[in-house]
Each structure stands twice: as structure tokens, then as C-alpha cells.
Copies of this chain bind each other. A is one copy, B any other.
Amino acid sequence: MTDLPDHLLAGYRNFMTGRYVAEGDRFRTLAREGQAPETMVIACCDSRAAPEVIFDSGPGELFVVRNVANLVPPYAPDGEFHSTSAALEFAVQALKVKNIVVVGHGRCGGIRAALAPASEPLSPGDFIGKWMSLLAPSASAVSGNALLTAGERQTALERISIRYSIANLRTFPCINILEGKGRLKLYGAWFDISTGELWVMNRQTGDFERPEIA
């Protein structure tokens, strides 16, 4: 008996007999030469929104941070542990990625929590409450609008949070400088898990639009 959940062991077997047969050379090259991804993705932990699935990406293609609600906190060099900021620093300074893409998605549980009326924390540490409080000002601006449906408030905050994370990316000096020099580009996208549609943020207007993929 192996100390791994059965579904993971079965999945790993599929990987070894399927994808790894085709991509083994690519994995070996990447092991030898190191990774050099062009693109960093900041995505949500949600089990329905894996960036490698949505973008059908291969080994070595995407450097991926995943946290609840794909948030980037503002730059804060305060000596604390900052998981997302550490990953950003590594991607931008060590790997020298050319693109950072913030990928949000529909029906996000973190966003729903941010819009819900203040309630009991999930645990005494209230980590999720504290984490989602990054979005509190935006959330209150949206949740107070009774003319929008619950679904519309949810979608609105999901998209606002993507723009918020991109704005916070620009508070990091190294990102701001590299973007100014044209060596780093910032993007936003929103994935509709019910339809499979990807909505891409227009970098001029901030609007989300469906790309032509035909």
C-alpha cells in the first residue's frame, strides 16, 4: 500500500504511461538546463481553474502562484513572510519572466466570502477573513449596490480584484521599472468555468472581452 490517495496514484500512472511518454525528452531537457518560463501566472486555488488546463500548457511554460482569489498584496518590504511577493521576486529577478498574467474566474469562493455580510470566522485564526480583507474597500463598494443581482456583484468583484492585483503589481519597484522599459508586460484574464470561456482584460480600458479564437 502506498501512502498516497488512490486517485492521485491512478492519475500519476496515467501521466507516466501517457503524457510522460510524449514529453519525457522535454522534462529531461528542462531538468538539465533549468526552467526558463516566459510567463508567470497568478491564479486561484480553485479546483476548477487550473492554468495548465485552461492554457493547455506544457512543462516549463508557466511559473504559477496560486492563492485564494488570485490576489497580489501591495508591496510591503516589512520583513514579514510574503508568499506571493517572494514568488514575484523570484519570477521577475531570477527567472526574468516577460509576462505576468493574473487569472481570475467565475463563482470564486473567496470573492463570495468577501461579499458576504460579516460572519463567524472559519477558524479562530480567521486567516481567510484577513486575506480577503485586502479586497474589503472594493467589496463594500460593490456589495452596497442593491440594483445589481448577487451574480452581477460577484462577477464585478472578481474582475475588480484582477485589476486590483495588477495595480498592486505596479507598486513593486522592480515590476514598475521593467514595465516602463517594455521588458515586462502585465495582463488580466477571467475564466468562466460554466462555459469554458476566457475573457481577456483590455489593457487600455480594463474591460474584459472574449478573444477571437476561431
Q: Which residues of A contact B (CB under 8 A)?
A: 2-5, 7-9, 11-16, 18-20, 24, 27-28, 30-32, 34-35, 37-40, 45-48, 50, 52-57, 59-68, 71, 73, 75, 77, 79-91, 93-95, 98-99, 101, 106-107, 109-110, 113, 122-128, 130-132, 134, 138, 141-142, 145-152, 156, 159-160, 163, 172-174, 185, 187, 189, 193-196, 198, 200-203, 205-207, 210-213
Take A48-B30, A205-B150 as given contacts and tell me if A109 and B90 are in contact as well, using a CB distance cutoff of 8 Å: yes
Besides A31-B194, A85-B125, 8 more A-B contacts (Cβ < 8 Å) are A4-B189, A5-B39, A12-B56, A16-B196, A30-B193, A79-B130, A80-B130, A156-B156
Q: Which of A32, A128, A151 has the most CB of B within 10 A?
A: A128
Nearest B residue (CB) for A35 = B47
9 A-B pairs with least C-beta separation: A31-B194, A86-B131, A11-B55, A77-B125, A93-B122, A2-B211, A14-B56, A37-B47, A85-B127
Q: How many copies does the complex hold?
A: 4
B13 touches A213 (CB 8 A): yes
6 contacts between A and B (CB under 8 A): A7-B61, A13-B213, A75-B125, A82-B127, A90-B109, A151-B207
